[in-house]
Structure 1
Amino acid sequence: MNSPQSAFSALGETHEVFNQVPPLDGANLYRVDLPLQEWVHRFQGGWAEDRLQAYGALAGGPLMAAGFLANENKPVFKSHDRYGQRIDLVEFHPAYHELMRTAIEHGIPSLPWTDPRAGAHVARAGLSYLHSQAESGSGCPLTMTFASVPALQLQPDIAAQWLPRVLASEYDPRNLPMERKAGVTLGMAMTEKQGGTDVRANTTRAHALGAGGPGQAYELVGHKWFCSAPMCDAFLTLAYTDKGLTCFLLPRHRPDGTRNAFYIQRLKNKLGNWSNASSEVEYRGALAWMIGEEGRGVPTIIEMVGMTRFDCMVGSSALMRQALSQATHHCAHRQVGGRLLAEQPLMRNVLADLALESEAALALSLRMGHALDNADDAQEATFARLVTAVGKYWICKRAPGMIAEASECLGGAGYVEETILPRLYREAPVNSIWEGSGNVQCLDVLRALSKEAGVLDALFAELGDGHGDARLRAHIERLAKNFRDTDDIQYRARQLTEDVAIGLQAKLLLEAGNAVVSDAFIASRLGDGGREYGTLPRGVDSEALLARSTPHLF
């Protein structure tokens, strides 16, 4: 006779699995994102609609799966081969190569340079926005390859050799000399142990192999504390000559095909950005060519840094958008107390607030792309100079908190690695730190506004008079007054930069003409909203905001 215990054991299953959220796998990330569609079209990128649709399907499907694999299988550094010979190789999982290959074949590092029509930077930012939702680590070499072009163009003889391969739509990860590859990627190595952001404290020295000067060969001796993507084919780097800090292009291989004296010391053990390899390197007489004017290394490499800072804006906006998508999808299917979470008033307040933050970040990022597309216009070029720092500071600062709130919408499920949210959260701080942390950006805002002609005028020309909204007009007037008050202005730099960013976002949303979005943003950011997400004031149409942000769910 069976005991009650054995009878219960025979049942096998202890409970029915129900009230679980269906997977979001395979969603077309462009098709479900109405704000992205509208802002791309608003800033003249609509001609890339088919490309964006196609990439949205890839990003939500195979690239999303590749992103998980690339993070579960981190890059591995191999200093020597089995015979004891130094090789300095970083090995990546095939999923990482799939991410890189797909992005390069679709023009993410090259589109504005190979097809520089109106809206090209906006269209390319849209593609990058989709790619970064699937996986951000691969964005580092993609961004640096994209951003290297303006700096290389300062040295036409070197550019003629490298740019055809930099701009090629072919990915070749093999460790071969540039001359044997159809496509290459470029990296950057600027900072050193003793200085970090203060590159003037660098100690790496460059020694001319001949007459010296722009385009000429040098050997570099020194180190770099952060070299991102060390398997790139070449790097823009900084070293001192007798005339000061100078920019150089340093390849992994010498023209005769031998390895350059470029030695990887170790890979960084980072909080996030796991799929990408970041390293410490040494130059032991590494061959490099001078790029730009001798002693003007910082202004030369800033041509690259400006573009990478723009991509920090786009990348952080992308992380925020994917976090929003995960939170709204969960709440549209999960019941608590017999009602869907998305139907409950307080959760609607939270989700609608997150949707506002996401769209405002996207709007400012694509407005920056529009400025780059029109950089031959003095107003737009000056505006871009300022907003690179403003947007990089504000959007990157907002991302970690916004993603944390989105994770909380899932409860404990948002804290486990089976979801993408922990990865998004770990990834978010890198965009704020990389290419100059928050204080660097805010001081750069002050530098631009106080020392560069026309920047302050360009800002207030963009902001206008409030566009008919009294709250925005009052905000702009206070901002102008605060800039006129120069006492302790460095101490107040973060507050000033925040006020500029919110004013620009409010203006953009007002101009776009969707009153539900602009009224909610201004009421919460310039009015009586609270300090946390989910504190939207009364009267905000949260249902309409959610229907706009994720139309497939609401």
Structure 2
Amino acid sequence: MRVEEGFQQVPFHEGNPYTEDPALPFLLRRLIPPRLFDEEIEPELKRFGVEVITNIRAQSSGSRISPPKLVQYDNWGRRVDELHTSEGWRSLKATAQREGVPGIFYERKYRENSRTFGFAKALMMVGDSHEVFCPLSMTDGAARVIELMGTEGMKREILPKLISREPSSAFVAGQWMTERPGGSDVSQTETKAQSLGDSDQLGIKYSLNGFKWFSSATDGDIALALARTEPDSDSSKGLSLFLVPLRTPLLGIEPGSSISNGIRVHRLKNKIGTHALPTAELSLEQTFAYLVGSPNEGVKNILPVLNITRVWSAISSIGGLRKCLAIATAYADVRRIDGGSKLLRDVPLHLAQLASINLVYRALTHFGFGVVVLLGRVECGVASAEEQNRLRMFTPLIKAFAAEKAVAAMEEAMAGLGGQGYMEETDIGRLIRDGLVERIWEGTTTVLSLDLLRSTIDPARLKEFVSWCNSIILSCPPGLLKGVQEAIQSLQRKLDSLLAAFLQPVPSLIARSSLMFLGYITSAIYLLEHAVWSHNRGEEGYEIDAEVFRRWVNESGFVAAEQELDRTRAEAKFMNTSNSAIVFGRRGRAKL
């Protein structure tokens, strides 16, 4: 039989990533003032949705996107360290910049809503971006650091380039923290900084010498790096933050030209995913840099970058899941089975699988944008003290929770296409590989779990959180309460369990299970908040919002997360010993 003969599968079409999204349009309608949403935000997102499935998707497909290549030496044996990225990578980065990422956040045309608007665009594009938002998220973080603590020269000369919508002159920033001895533990940073006793319009000059193990914006223009200014210190207290030009002179040279400034690119990392993104090992050899902020406060000064990139990481996880869900849903709408008598969408068991993926996506989207709203309010100076505390808690929480939940749901979406889901052409495999890195970048789940515990060490913080949860629960009107009362009662019991689990001192072994449990609670509260709004306004489909909340509390794995937390808390002392025996056997010398 010729391939043109016989059965021919009808192609699926995902549709506009804004108008076809099951959660985003309704969520934004709640979060953004009505007139602004109707007249400016929604029309722009509809337009951008068309851009995503046409021009952006074309930029990210086929031979246009490929791994970067490093040319270390020219034909005369001279060290040149030329980094060549693909046409698609450069086009995607330029498109994002023209669309206002990260410019929207700092133009602040929409004040505290600017973060919500900008991240909505990012969510829609993530699935086709090949992780271009990794360097742009660090650019966002660098812009915030300079805005908060940069010199007047940096604010005048560098900040406008970081937030520019003109790709030909815009800067991209990296973040160089990770070194060979410490990984996430920056206290073991080996890079040393020596003052040059000189300064110019951008600030005080230093010379840096060291080795950076990961650099995820190697094709950028500047980087923020930690280096040791107290040579006798072996802790994080002796570290300072520096702005490092990747080439000299920094100003007046074409962005993206060959790397210089004493920076040697030793090799590109061979990663299982994020293949288009150039990640490299760099040595700094008398590399000049500018001090940012006060000396010996580098860890404190780089925190805005970490916090912003962690929110970006969460949106990347959610955006990757968005596209996987869109593919699986569109496929179910055209795939015929049983001799062509029915569509896959009409098979109850398959429909239940899609609904479970949809549930995860809705929960993560509502939680993610809840954090984005807090970030926007804090940056615009309109957040209350309690909102600032919630942002501190929620930043590590959403990053880790979204990364853990999204990839598992992506795998379910892949299975929803059967064998075709396993094919590279669907793009789900790439999205899963790229999504896996979100469990590692900017802190693993374990690192973030411990950070979450630190954010709740003050009992007042957790009481504020529970009070916020209860205020939303109490806002539930009688008409809605009737259908979700059992779920609300269950949620209230879980809040009691949460308080019990966080009684000081909290055993570090429960950090991970408490993070997952708190992630379920927080996402449930955000889903309830939306269901209340939807019910009160009489929104079309408000019954669905109530059902999503009910299922998330009762059927999503919430109960298992609570059981795991209770078990870990009760057996913490014994578990550490038994874990050692299981992992290392007799070498663990454990006595059970």
> What TM-score do you get using the length of structure 1 for normalisation?
0.87
**In structure 1, what is the Cα distance between the partners aligned to 2:216 and 2:194?**
24
State the one-letter code of the partner of 2:210: G
Determine whether 1:369 maps to 2:388: no
What does 1:24-173 align with in structure 2 at a 5 Å threshold?
A: 24=13, 27-44=15-32, 46=37, 47-69=40-62, 73-116=66-109, 117-153=111-147, 154-157=149-152, 158-172=154-168
Report the alpha carbon displacement of residue 71 of structure 1 after superposing the two structures with TM. Answer: 7.7
Counterpart-to-counterpart distance in 2, 1:527 and 1:193 = 38
1:486 is the counterpart of 2:481:
no
Change (3 A) 1:39 1:69: same
For residue 125 of structure 1, give the secondary structure of its aligned residue in structure 2: helix
- The Cα of 1:273 is off from its aligned counterpart by 0.6
SS of the residue 1:225 aligns to: strand
Q: Do the aligned residues in 2 keep the contact of 1:208 with 1:219 (CA within 8 Å)? A: yes
- Higher mean alpha-carbon deviation, 339-348 vs 418-427, is at 339-348
Aligned residue in 2 for 1:448: 455
The question of whether the paired residues in 2 share the 8 Å contact of 1:147 and 1:305 is answered with: yes
Q: Does the 8 Å contact 1:524/1:530 carry over to 2?
A: no
Contact kept, 8 Å, 1:523 with 1:529, in 2: the verdict is: no
Which stretches in structure 1 are left out of the alignment for 5+ residues? 1-10, 173-181, 532-554
- Residues 225-236 of structure 1 aligned to structure 2 (within 5 Å): 225-236=213-224
**Pick from 393, 403, 407: which aligns with 2:400?**
393
- Residue 528 of structure 1 deviates from its aligned partner by 6.6
SS in 1 for 2:60: helix
2:417 corresponds, among 401, 410, 413, to 410
User: Per the alignment, do residues 335 and 272 of structure 1 end up closer, same or farther by CA in structure 2, a change over 3 Å counting?
Assistant: same
Instruction: State yes or no: 1:457 paired with 2:463.
Output: yes
1:472 and 2:529 aligned: no
Describe the SS at the equivalent of 2:23. helix
For the Cα contact (< 8 Å) 1:71–1:274, is it kept in 2? no
Cα displacement string for residues 1-58 of structure 1 (whole angstroms, at most 9, x for unaligned residues): xxxxxxxxxx75684133x241326x32112114111112222273422221222111
- Tell me whether 359-368 or 63-72 shows the greater mean CA deviation: 63-72
User: Which has a greater percent of helix?
Assistant: 2
Question: Which residue number corresponds to residue 210 of structure 2?
Answer: 222
How many Å separate the matches in 1 of 2:561 and 2:455? Answer: 32
Q: Distance in 2 between matches of 1:528 and 1:148?
A: 40
Give runs of aligned pairs for residues 139-538 of structure 1, distance below 5 A.
139-153=133-147, 154-157=149-152, 158-172=154-168, 182-210=169-197, 215-242=203-230, 244-255=238-249, 259-337=260-338, 338-375=341-378, 376=381, 377=383, 378-450=385-457, 454-464=460-470, 466-467=473-474, 469-484=488-503, 486-488=505-507, 490-513=508-531, 514-525=545-556
After alignment, is 213-222 or 296-305 more displaced? Answer: 213-222
Structure 1 moving runs of 4+ over 6 Å: 211-214, 526-531
The 3 A distance-change label for structure 1 pair 215 and 421 is: same
Q: Distance in 2 between matches of 1:12 and 1:331?
A: 27
Q: Counterparts of 2:361 and 2:506 in 1: how far apart (Å)?
A: 34
Q: Could you tell me how far 1:527 is from its partner in structure 2? A: 6.7
Give the drift of 1:259.
Answer: 3.0
Query: Contact 2:65–2:89 (CA<8 Å) still a contact in 1?
Result: no
Q: Are 1:235 and 1:250, in contact at CA under 8 Å, matched by a contact in 2?
A: yes
Deviation at 1:66, TM superposition (A): 2.0
SS of 1:107's equivalent in the other structure is coil
CA deviation after TM superposition for structure 1 residue 407, in Å: 0.2
Q: Is the 8 A contact 2:65 2:87 kept in 1?
A: no
The answer to whether the Cα contact below 8 Å between 1:254 and 1:287 also exists between their aligned partners in 2 is: no
Which SS does the other structure have where 2:556 is aligned? Answer: helix
Output the CA distance in 2 between the equivalents of 1:21 and 1:450: 56
Percent sequence identity is 27
Secondary structure at the counterpart of residue 273 of structure 2: coil
1: CA distance, partners of 2:560 / 2:246: 53
Distance in structure 2 (CA, Å) of the matches to 1:304 and 1:298: 10
Paired residues, what number?
508
Conserved 8 A contact 1:59-1:133: no
AA of the residue aligned to 2:80: I
Look up the SS of the partner of 1:61 in the other structure.
Answer: helix
Structure 2 gaps of 5+ residues are 231-236, 254-258, 477-487, 532-544, 563-592
Could you tell me whether the CA contact under 8 Å between 1:136 and 1:315 is conserved in 2? no
Q: Deviations over 1:392-451 (max 9, x none)?
A: 110011122111111001111011111111111111111110001111100000001105
Q: Is the 8 A contact 1:28 1:61 kept in 2?
A: no
Residues 193, 229 of structure 2: 8 Å contact kept: yes
Task: Specify whether residues 300 and 530 from structure 1 end up closer, same or farther in structure 2 by C-alpha distance, changes over 3 A only.
Answer: closer
TM-score in terms of structure 2 length: 0.82
What secondary structure sits across from 1:229 in the alignment?
A: coil
Offset, 1:101: 1.0
CA RMSD between the two structures: 2.3
Distance 1:340 1:23, change over 3 A: closer
